[in-house]
Structure 1
C-alpha cells in the first residue's frame, strides 16, 4: 500500500523493485565516477555450506567485491551446526575468493547480539559503531587487511 503526497510530489510505500533498480544505476554511475572504478570492478560473491552427510544447506555467506574491497553482507549458520567450524570455513572461503579477485581488504558489520567476537578472532578490527539498534544493541563495523594469499 502506498500513500501519495501530491502536494510534495512524493509517493511513500513498501518495497519498490523499480525504484531500487533506478537508485542502483544512479548510485553506481556516481560511485564509479567518484572512485575511478567501473562495473567490471564489482561482483557478487556467495559461499554455501553443505552437510556432507545429508547434502542439506547448513549455512552460507553473501558478499560483494568492488575495486579491491570485499563487503560481507550476511553470514549465517543453522543453530544445530553452530560451534562446528562452519562460520570460520565460510569466512575463509570468501576471503580466499576475494583475494583471487584482487581484493586486499574486507569490511563487515555485526550487531552486538550476533558475532562481533567471531570477526575479532578472524583478524577484523573495529572501526566504529551505529547506535540505536532495536533492543538496545549496536551495529559494530569492522575492517580487515587481506594479506596476499601465501598458497
Structure 2
C-alpha cells in the first residue's frame, strides 16, 4: 500500500494546457465576482503587397474596457504612420464593441510618448524593468 503524499508541486517550462486551464478558471471567477462576462479578443493586422507583416495589434474586451496586449510595427515602416493607423482602427473597433476606455502598458524604452500623443494619460508605473526602465500604464477614454 502506498501512502497518499497529497498535492504535487511542479515547476517547469511553458505549459499551454495549464495556461488555458488557469485562464478558464480565472475568467469564471472574475465573471462570477463582477457579474460581467468577458468579451472577445480581436486583432488588427497590416501586410505589405507580398503579404509580409508590416504591423499588428492584439486586444481584449471586458466590461467596457479594451486592453491592448501587443502593438508592433516593423522597423522599416515605423515612420509611415502605421502605428497611428493601427491604434485608430483599434479605438474605432473598441467603440463598435461597446468600450468607453482603452488600457495599454508600454516600457519606457518603447512607446509611452506615442500613446500620450494619441490622448492616453498615465495611470501608473512599475519600476524595476532591466536597464533602469519602467512599465507605464496608460488609459484613454473613448467617445462614441
TM-score (norm 1): 0.87
Structure 1 segments, 4+ long, off by >4 Å, are none
Q: Distance in 2 between matches of 1:75 and 1:11?
A: 33
Counterpart in the other structure of 2:136: 140
- Within 1, Cα distance between the matches of 2:130 and 2:59? 24
**Partner of 1:3 in structure 2?**
none
* Aligned pairs (5 A) from 1:88-103: 88-103=84-99
1:9 Cα offset (Å): 2.9
Cα-Cα RMSD: 1.5
TM-score where L is the length of structure 2:
0.91
Match of 1:34 in 2: 33
Post-superposition shift, 1:54?
Answer: 3.7
1:1-150 aligned within 5 A? 9-38=8-37, 41-51=38-48, 53-148=49-144
Paired residue secondary structure (1:46) = strand
Distance 1:17 1:125, change over 3 A: same
Structure 1, unpaired ranges of 5+: 1-5
Give the 3-state SS of the residue equivalent to 1:147 in structure 2: coil
Matched positions, count: 140
Query: How much does 1:21 deviate?
Result: 1.5
**Secondary structure of the corresponding residue to residue 12 of structure 1:** coil
1:68-110 deviation line (CA, Å, top 9, x unaligned): 1100011100000011000000000011011000000010000
- SS across alignment from 1:93: helix
Of 54-63 and 119-128, more deviation after overlay is shown by 54-63
Query: Which structure 2 segments of 5+ residues have no match?
Result: none
Distance 1:80 1:70 in 2: 28
User: In structure 2, what is the Cα distance between the partners aligned to 1:8 and 1:105?
Assistant: 42
Residues 100-127 of structure 1 show CA distances to partners (whole Å, capped at 9, x for unaligned) of 0000001000000000000000000001
